[in-house]
Amino acid sequence: MITFKFVTIGENLGTRLLGEKARNMLLPLIQGDEQVVLDFEGVDVVSNSFADECLAKLLLVMPLDELKKRTTFRGLNDFARKNIAVAFKRRLLAMKS
């Protein structure tokens, strides 16, 4: 199991630019053989924009079921959890249309 600590990127994850940077760091780990722990401990804010750019855009390279098998979340506060869920929901809807 590999742990990806988002706090190393910042405590306030708000921009698409940061999201893209994090996604580019994360993708090779997720495509490896081990499960990746997405550790948000110490992160105060995860915006919809960051969540979409970093996490929901992973759906463009692998199906949701596969992403769920390869990752697990840790240390999310309620605000961040909600924004990540919304980003995934919006991305899935956009991909269906």
* pLDDT tens digits, 62-72: 999 999 999 99
Dihedral sign for Cα atoms in the order 91, 93, 96, 97: negative
* pLDDT tens digits, 13-31: 999 999 999 999 999 999 9
Rounded alpha-carbon distances, angstroms, from residue 7 to 22, 46, 62, 81, 89: 11, 11, 25, 15, 24
Place of tokens 């910042």: 10
Whether residue 38 is predicted with pLDDT greater than 90 in this model: the reply is yes
Question: What is the structure's pLDDT at 97?
Answer: 75
Give the chain's mean pLDDT. Answer: 95
* pLDDT tens digits, 70-92: 999 999 999 999 999 999 999 99
Rounded Cα distance between 74 and 80, Å, is 11
Query: Model-level pTM?
Result: 0.92
